[in-house]
Amino acid sequence: MQINISPQLQAIIRKRCQDTGHTPEEIVAIALRGYLEIDEETLFQTSTIGALVEGVYRGDLTIAELKNYGDFGLGTFNDLDGEMVVLDGQVWQLRSDGQAYPVADEVKTPFATVTFWQADWMATLAQPLNYEELQRYLDTLLPSDNIFYAIKISGQFRHVRTRTIERQDQPTRLVEAAARQPVHEFQSVQGDLIGFWTPSYMKTVNVPGYHFHFLSADRQRGGHVLDVCIERVDIGIDDTPRLRVALPETQEFLAANLTRDTQQELHQAEK
Ligand SMILES: [Zn+2]
């Protein structure tokens, strides 16, 4: 879609770009989302992390539907077929070969979390930090432990270690599937960490704490982040105080026993 914008409006957009650091595309997207009453401050997710841990790997939400609720996020695909990244409105499937693939709209997801990205504030970090140190630094940026934050970390990484779960054709628990996960190492790579902070009291709903997926800048490689060492990155943080959950109406979800405490298995599978 190509749209003509009047010189007067273009001048206002350019001024706003200077003031905010946003690109013209971002300013137009922000303005349109406001006019169209699209809620940017809501985290949308399908199913729960508790159900995924119990092995509910089939959902009924398509990628086309998911895109209506956000342009930024992460998740997985039916039968646990790799890791999902949603970035700039595009959905990528990071498969067990460590490569990234575009995803067809009719593909379904059993678990995904998205929001409309709009950084509420930015920081730049130009010192080598490992994953633990990066998380401690992020702790100092987040004003509260009690709401969701979408977090994007873009730039140069010394290394990134990821896993990408393999498609599961037999019923398994997440912890068993994750135990066989292929691990990939990327050295000296440009890219983005796409992720969220989830409050610990939400631990049956989403992954508590930080959860990131990596996508390389050339959009060719990535996975669920196990470890990183950053070199020089820009960090964007998007406060997300509202949550909307769409629970699947599949037989698998409806019949699942979701009363057990799965924290130990979740920690083992995700960290
Ligand atoms: Zn993940």
Query: Is 176 in the same domain as 213?
Result: yes
Query: Is 23 in the same domain as 68?
Result: no
Ligand 1 mean position, distance from CA 39 (Å) = 25
CA dihedral of 203, 205, 211, 214, whole degrees rounded to 10: 160
Average pLDDT for residues 10-18, to the nearest whole number?
93
Query: Is 34 in the same domain as 58?
Result: no
pLDDT tens by residue, 188-241: 999 999 999 999 999 999 999 999 999 999 999 999 999 999 999 999 999 999
Query: Is 80 in the same domain as 198?
Result: yes
Query: Is 13 in the same domain as 71?
Result: no
pLDDT tens by residue, 67-109: 999 999 999 999 999 999 999 999 999 998 999 999 999 999 9
242-246 vs 42-46, strand pairing mode: parallel
Query: Is 30 in the same domain as 52?
Result: no
CA-CA distance, 245 to 252, in Å (whole number)? 17
Query: Is 6 in the same domain as 95?
Result: no
Identify the pLDDT of residue 88: 92
Query: Is 9 in the same domain as 49?
Result: no
User: Which CATH number goes with the domain that contains 231?
Assistant: 3.30.1330.80
Token pair, residue 30, equals: 């922000």
The answer, yes or no, to whether residue 46 has pLDDT greater than 80, is: yes
Query: Is 95 in the same domain as 138?
Result: yes
CA-CA distance, 13 to 42, in Å (whole number)? 26
Identify the pLDDT of residue 159: 96
Half-sphere exposure of 210 (CA within 13 A, CB side): 23
CA-CA distance, 7 to 9, in Å (whole number)? 6
DSSP string, 163-200: E-PPP--S---HHHHHHT--EEEEEEEEEEEEEEEE-G
Token pair, residue 129, equals: 């930090």
Nearest-5° Cα angle at 50, 58 to 43: 85
Average pLDDT for residues 53-68, to the nearest whole number?
94
**How many domains in the chain?**
2
Ligand 1 mean position, distance from CA 75 (Å) = 6
Half-sphere exposure of 228 (CA within 13 A, CB side): 33
Ligand 1 mean position, distance from CA 151 (Å) = 14
Query: Is 174 in the same domain as 120?
Result: yes
208, 251 Cβ separation under 8 angstroms = no
Query: Is 77 in the same domain as 18?
Result: no
Ligand 1 mean position, distance from CA 210 (Å) = 10
Query: Is 10 in the same domain as 99?
Result: no
Binned at pLDDT 50, 70 and 90, residue 10 comes out as: very high
Ligand 1 mean position, distance from CA 38 (Å) = 26
Domain that holds residue 210: 44-271
